[in-house]
Amino acid sequence: MTASSTSRWRALALALPLIGLVAATAAAQAPRTATPPPAARPGASPAAARPAAAPAAARPAGALERAVQLDRVVAVVNDEAITDWEISEQKRIVRGQMAAQKVAPPAPDVLEKQVLDRIITERVLLQHAKETGVRVDDVQVERTIQRIAQDNKLSAEAFRQAVEREGMTYAKYRENLRNEIVIQRLRDREVDARIAVSDAEIDNLLATLASQAGGDTEFRVSHILVGVPERATPGQIEARKQRAEEALKRVRDGGDFAQIAAGFSDASDALQGGSLGWRTAARLPTVFVESVRTLKPGEASEVLRSAAGFHIVKLEETRGRSAPTVVEQTRVQHILVKVNEITSESEGRIRIDRIKERIDTGSRFEDQAKLNSEDGSAPKGGDLGWISPGDTVPEFEAAMNKLQVDEISAPVRSPFGWHLIQVKQRRTQDITADRQREQARMAIRQRKSDEGFQDWVRQLRDRAYVEFLSDER
């Protein structure tokens, strides 16, 4: 239950807004001329993806033409259609999000392109997930909703009502959430699982930060990405560069950066004004780092080039983070019985109860951990070492904090499964140096993850068959 193994769960819950959820995708690419797919795919026809039309007798007068319009196919992604109805619904949600964030929406045609790009990218990701066996069951969706509701200090019913007050059905919210989790699992498997961070990289980063004035500074930045397809022609590259320069001109002329980002950026955060939030230099995209260090708050960079396309980065503000970190640590050991596709909820509870009974009747905790725990701590008798606040998921930490030294918990449920927890020692510790190394490791990993995911999604989308049917609209 270390920070590296649990942060994804916590980050996922925090990343999902309470209302107006739009599936997060990587940087969208410029529209491409459709090319034939490498091989014909069996599957549903475009018409199969269209929402069912209401009976004619139930429609108000004059609604038939509008219903037909909304049902028209706008684009085809491999063997799936995207309709006007889907785009209209997504635009409505996005407008609500932007209004809540006080970001002016772009022109209607620009907003439609942004939304369509998002839907296409999400559709490509979900299709790949389906083809490669990534699934999320109802239990996981419900558990994630419970966590989001708790984070917002709402009951289940109050959360449902909050969603529906914003014009989204609860069923649609669940669907969007399921897609989010699927995409996160896909990212974990295809990108994050292949990332390695060496001690040498951590040492180099810490040395670099120590040698620089303001090396412990955090930056709040926003950006604009004008994406370039992977195999773009020189003419396409030049056109995308000119688009980026036009965006920069508008910024320099005093235009609102958030609104310009919404209108020009191909990044997934475009409709949130291009905000990247607070980041250390280590967590910034490599292409941004040197520019950000030279900017004053409120200033924007020149047009920057990367493999993904052309960028403009704006420094909003900076802050320091050099305070020492003194915490109460707990040395803890545990036994984990995972709940997954193989072990059901009830089976997991029965197994952990039996283990608890054996310990209560004289068996050593360490011996039971070696025999039964389903994680990397098993060979060490379940020993997790010294745990700092925030290193584990909330359910585990809350149960651990209630225990006296040598006390063993009742079975505890977490997102990973069922635990037995035993506290061995407690101490007060200055963990500044350790925390700095862990933060450096996480920052490097996150930067590699962001850049790797963006590149992977771009490649995946470039391989997809995408046909735009604008002549039918």
Assess whether pLDDT exceeds 50 at residue 422: yes
Report the topology of domain 217-321: Chitinase A; domain 3 (3.10.50)
**Residue 470, pLDDT score:** 62
Mean pLDDT of 352-357: 97
Structure confidence by residue, pLDDT tens digits, 66-125: 444 557 899 999 989 999 999 998 888 888 878 877 777 888 888 888 899 889 999 999
* Confidence grade of residue 40 (pLDDT, cut at 50, 70, 90): very low
Tokens of 74: 């706008």
**Residue 45, pLDDT score:** 34
**Residue 214, pLDDT score:** 52
Most confident segment among 231-235, 242-246, 275-279: 242-246
Q: Comparing 65-74, 188-197, 316-325, 362-371, which segment has the lowest mean pLDDT?
A: 65-74
Check: CB of residue 5 under 8 Å from CB of residue 415: no
**Residue 122, pLDDT score:** 94
**Residue 402, pLDDT score:** 96
**In which element (H, E) is residue 77 found?**
strand 73-77
**Residue 419, pLDDT score:** 97
Residue 35's SS3 state is coil
pTM, to two decimals: 0.57
**In which element (H, E) is residue 408 found?**
none
Assess whether pLDDT exceeds 70 at residue 54: no
Tokens of 299: 């200033």
- Ramachandran assignment for 33, one of left (phi > 0), alpha (psi -120 to 50 degrees), beta (any other): beta
Q: Comparing 33-42, 69-78, 104-113, 302-311, which segment has the lowest mean pLDDT?
A: 33-42
DSSP structure string for 202-233? HHHHHHHHHHSTTTTEEEEEEEEEEE--TT--
List the domain boundaries for the chain. 3-50+67-193, 217-321, 326-430
**Residue 332, pLDDT score:** 97
Percent of the chain scoring above 70 in pLDDT: 82
**Residue count (the chain):** 473
Structure confidence by residue, pLDDT tens digits, 130-160: 999 988 888 889 888 988 888 888 998 999 9
* Confidence grade of residue 207 (pLDDT, cut at 50, 70, 90): confident
* Confidence grade of residue 307 (pLDDT, cut at 50, 70, 90): confident
Q: Comparing 10-14, 286-290, 353-357, 455-459, which segment has the lowest mean pLDDT?
A: 10-14
Structure confidence by residue, pLDDT tens digits, 367-403: 999 999 999 899 999 999 999 888 899 999 999 999 9
**Residue 209, pLDDT score:** 73
Distance CA 65, CA 71 (A): 10
Assess whether pLDDT exceeds 70 at residue 283: yes
**Residue 319, pLDDT score:** 84
Backbone phi and psi for residue 73, each to the nearest 5 degrees, phi listed first: -80, 125
Angle (nearest 5°) at CA 266 between 260 and 271: 55
**Residue 2, pLDDT score:** 40
- Top pLDDT among 230 and 456 is at 456
Distance CA 118, CA 267 (A): 9
Distance CA 62, CA 60 (A): 6
Quick one: 3-50+67-193 is in which CATH superfamily? Answer: Porin chaperone SurA, peptide-binding domain (1.10.4030.10)
Tell me the sheet residues that pair with 219. Answer: 279, 318
Percent of the chain scoring above 90 in pLDDT: 44
Averaged confidence pLDDT in the chain: 81
Mean pLDDT of 53-57: 36
- Architecture of the structural domain at 326-430: Roll (3.10)
Mean pLDDT of 4-31: 31
Shared fold status for 3-50+67-193 and 326-430: no
